[in-house]
Structure 1
Amino acid sequence: MKIALFDVKPYDREFFEKWNKKYNASITYFEERLSVNNAVLTKYYDVVCVFVNDDVNEKVLSILSKNGIRLLALRSAGYNNVDFKAAKKYGIRVVRVPAYSPYAVAEHALALIMTLNRKIHKAYSRTRDGNFTLNGLLGTDLHGKTAGIIGTGRIAKILIGILKGLGMNVLGYDKFPDEKAAKEIGYTYVTLDELYKESDIISLHCPLTPETMYLINYNSIKKMKDGVMIINTGRGKLIDTSMLIEGLKDKKISAAGLDVYEEEESYFFEDDSADVLQDDVLARLLTFNNVIVTSHQAFFTREALDGIVETTFNNILEYHNKQELTNEVYYDEKENRIVEGNLQKH
C-alpha cells in the first residue's frame, strides 16, 4: 500500500518508520496539513493519513476521490475535521484510532489539576529567579473535595479511579450512563445542573457534537460553584472561551487547565514563538496566571504513539485485505448521524 501521510512532525516519522519495519508499506511524508491547496499531491497513492487539524472538507474529498483515494485513515480518535456526508458521496471510507493510551490523557488531566491547585508553575518560575516566598501559592487539599466528570468513557473512568485514590468524591454525567462502572469504581451519576452546583473541579471528557458544542457557556458557568476549577482535555469547542475569560475575571472560576482550544488549528503543533500572536482571545487567556494552556499534548506518550501507529497500520491492512473495517466511522443517511462502527454490518 502507498500511503500519503500529512501534517507530519519528527515524532510521527520516528514512530511510523519504527512500525513500518513490520508492515513494510510505502510511505511519503508531507509536513504540510492536508488542504485544498495540496490535495492534488495524493495522486498515485492508495491511502491518505491525516491528523486532527487537517481540513478534510468536501472540496478536499472531491480531489481525493478524483485521484483514486478510497480510504482516509485518521491517526486520532476525534473526527470533527472530516465531512462525512461528502466522504460517503465520493465513496471514501474513513477509519480512526478510537483508543490508544487512555492513561496518557487521564494522567495529563491530573497533572493540570495538581499544578493549578498547588501553583507549581508559579513556584517553578519564582525559585529560578531566587524568589522563595510562599505568598500566592496557597492550595487546598483535594481529599474530600468533589470532582465533576462530564463524559464517562475509558479516559474518564481512569481519571475517576485516580481521583478516588486521592480521596475525592466524584460525580459523573453522561448521555449514556454506565451504572455498573459507577458502582464498581465508586462515583455517582447526576444531572448536569447538579454537577455544576456541587463540583469543586469540572473535567471535560465528552466528544464534540452539536449538542456539546459550547457546553461551558455563560449559563452553565453561572450555575457552578464559586471558585470552580475547569479542566479540558477533550475538544476546544466544548468551551466558549470568551465566557471562560469572563468567569476568570469575575473569580467565579479559580483556575483553568486547557490542553485544547477552540481555534487551535492555527497554532497548536507549530512554533510561532517568533511571531506576534494574532488570536486576541488566546492572547488574553495566556495573560492569566491561574490558567495553564498546553498544546494538545495530553495524548503524547511513547505508549500512546505506539498505539496510534499500530492501529493505523492495522486499519489500513484490513482495508487492503478486504476485511471488515473495525474502526470505521461513517454517515448513516437513515439516522442522519455519524456512526462509529463497521459499515458492512449495517
Structure 2
Amino acid sequence: MGLLCSPSKRNKVMDMKILFTEVEPADEETIKRLFEGHQFKIYNDIPTEDELIEMADEDTEVISPFIYTKIGKKTMDVLPNLKLIATRSTGFDHIDWEYARSKGITVCNVPYYGSNTVAEHAFALLLNLVRHVCPGWTRVRSGNFSYEGFRGTDLKGKTLGVLGTGRIGLHAARIGKGFGMEVIAYDVILNEKAAEEIGFTYVSFDELLSRSDVITIHVPLLKSTYHLIDKEAVSKMKRGAILINTARGGVVDTNAIMWGLQEGILKGVGLDVIENEKSLTADHPLLRMEGVLITPHIAFYTHEAMTRIITTTYENITSFEKGNPINVVN
C-alpha cells in the first residue's frame, strides 16, 4: 500500500524525492505535515529488496526505512540518485552501511528517541519474570486465585549487569539504582563521569557475567557483538541469572540461551528481540520453555517515542539537504 505526495505550491525550497517504508497509518499525517514541500511516497508494508526497488524510481534521493526494510548493494546500485538513507531507528544493521559509504551515500539514524522508553521495557520484562506476573494473570483468569508456586525475588540488593553504557544502558543503570540494586557495567568505551554520577562500576566482560544476578543488554548489533552472548558466555554466568535483551536479536545466540535454561544456569530470559524474529513460529522450542517471556519488538513503541522518531528523521533529512548532515553512522 502506498501514498504519493507532490510538492506544495507554497513551498518549493525543499523538493527532495523521498521513499518511506514501514509507515503505520497513524503516522502518515505527521509525515505529510512535516515533509510538505517534498515529493514523497509512503508505504505501510515491509518490502523485500526487489519490492523496494520496484517502489522507488531512478530519481529517488532518500529512502527512510524502519527496522525490517533491508537495503543492500542491489538497491544502491540501481538507484543512481540515492544520496541518503535515513533509518527511523537507532539500529542500522538492516543497511549495508559500509557499501553505502563506498558509494558516497550517507546513512543516518535516530540515536536518542527511546533512551528511557527501551530501558523501561527492559524492567517491565524483568519485573514480569521475577514476580510471575504473566503466569499469575493466566491462573486468575482460569478462576484459580492460589499463589502456590509464585514465590518471587526482590530486586533490591541484587547485582545488575549492564552490557553497553550508551544512553539506553545508562538509563537502565539509573532504574536499577532506583530499585536499590548494585550496578556494574561493561563497555568498550568507558563513561567514567556517568559511572560516578549514577553510581555504577565498570568491570570486565567475564566479571560481569559471573557476578550479575540480572544482565540487561544494550549494545548495537555489529560484527564484534554478533552472538556476544554465546554458549561460552552463558557458561560463565552466575547460576540462576536472568538475561534481558531489548537490543538486537543477533547479539544473543538463541541456542545458547536454550542450553542455559536447560542446564539451570539461566533462571529466566526476557526478550523483546530474537534472531530471525519475523520467522518465529508457534512451534519454536524456546516458546515452550519455563522462565521465558518474549514480546514482539515493542520496547521502542510508545506514543512519545514514535513522535521523537519522526521528528528526528525530519531533522536528519532537512539537515542533510542544507549540507549539514547529522546523526551520521557511516
SS in 2 for 1:329: coil
Post-superposition CA distance 1:54-107 (Å, at most 9, x none): 111111211223xx2222110111111111232133332212111102110010
Match of 1:238 in 2: 251
Contact conserved, 1:40 with 1:63, CA < 8 A, in 2? no
Match status 1:9 vs 2:24? yes
Match status 1:20 vs 2:32? yes
Match of 1:316 in 2: 317
Contact conserved, 1:3 with 1:45, CA < 8 A, in 2? yes
Match of 1:97 in 2: 110
What is the percentage of aligned positions where both structures have the same residue?
38
Post-superposition CA distance 1:147-189 (Å, at most 9, x none): 1111011111111111111111011111111111111111111
RMSD after superposition: 1.6
Q: How does 1:72-91 map to 2 (within 5 A)?
A: 72-91=85-104
Match of 2:305 in 1: 304
Q: 1:58 aligns with which of 69, 73, 79?
A: 73
Unaligned runs of 5+ in 1: 268-276, 331-346
Post-superposition CA distance 1:210-246 (Å, at most 9, x none): 2211111111111111100000011111111011001
Match of 2:328 in 1: 328
Q: 2:262 aligns with which of 249, 259, 264?
A: 249
Q: Distance in 2 between matches of 1:53 and 1:229?
A: 28
SS in 1 for 2:216: strand
Residue type of the partner of 2:297? H
Tell which deviates more after alignment, 92-101 or 117-126.
Answer: 92-101
Match of 1:271 in 2: none
SS in 2 for 1:328: coil
Q: Distance in 2 between matches of 1:62 and 1:34?
A: 17
Post-superposition CA distance 1:110-133 (Å, at most 9, x none): 101100000000011110110111
Q: Give 1:209 deviation, angstroms.
A: 1.6
Q: 2:220 aligns with which of 198, 204, 207?
A: 207
Unaligned runs of 5+ in 2: 1-15
Post-superposition CA distance 1:242-285 (Å, at most 9, x none): 11001111221000000111112435xxxxxxxxx28x6xx111
Contact conserved, 1:40 with 1:64, CA < 8 A, in 2? no
Match of 1:270 in 2: none
Q: Give 1:19 deviation, angstroms.
A: 4.9
Q: Distance in 1 between matches of 2:143 and 2:290?
A: 19
Post-superposition CA distance 1:32-53 (Å, at most 9, x none): 3243322132114332110111
Q: How does 1:119-198 map to 2 (within 5 A)?
A: 119-198=132-211
Q: Distance in 1 between matches of 2:278 and 2:111?
A: 21
Q: Distance in 1 between matches of 2:35 and 2:46?
A: 24
TM-score, normalised on structure 2?
Answer: 0.90
Residue type of the partner of 1:203? T
Contact conserved, 2:246 with 2:271, CA < 8 A, in 1? yes
Contact conserved, 2:34 with 2:314, CA < 8 A, in 1? no
Residue type of the partner of 2:100? A
Contact conserved, 2:46 with 2:68, CA < 8 A, in 1? yes
Q: Which runs of 4+ in 1 moved over 3 A?
A: none
Q: Distance in 1 between matches of 2:128 and 2:313?
A: 33
Tell which deviates more after alignment, 193-202 or 26-35.
Answer: 26-35
Contact conserved, 1:116 with 1:255, CA < 8 A, in 2? yes
Q: 1:116 aligns with which of 123, 129, 151?
A: 129
SS in 2 for 1:247: helix
Match status 1:41 vs 2:55? yes
Q: Distance in 2 between matches of 1:95 and 1:48?
A: 11
Q: Give 1:16 deviation, angstroms.
A: 4.2
Match of 1:343 in 2: none
Q: Give 1:207 deviation, angstroms.
A: 1.4
Residue type of the partner of 2:42? Y
Matched residues, number: 312
Contact conserved, 1:315 with 1:325, CA < 8 A, in 2? yes
Change (3 A) 1:225 1:27: same
TM-score, normalised on structure 1?
Answer: 0.86
Q: Give 1:314 deviation, angstroms.
A: 1.1
Post-superposition CA distance 1:293-323 (Å, at most 9, x none): 11111011111101100011111111222x2
Change (3 A) 1:123 1:232: same
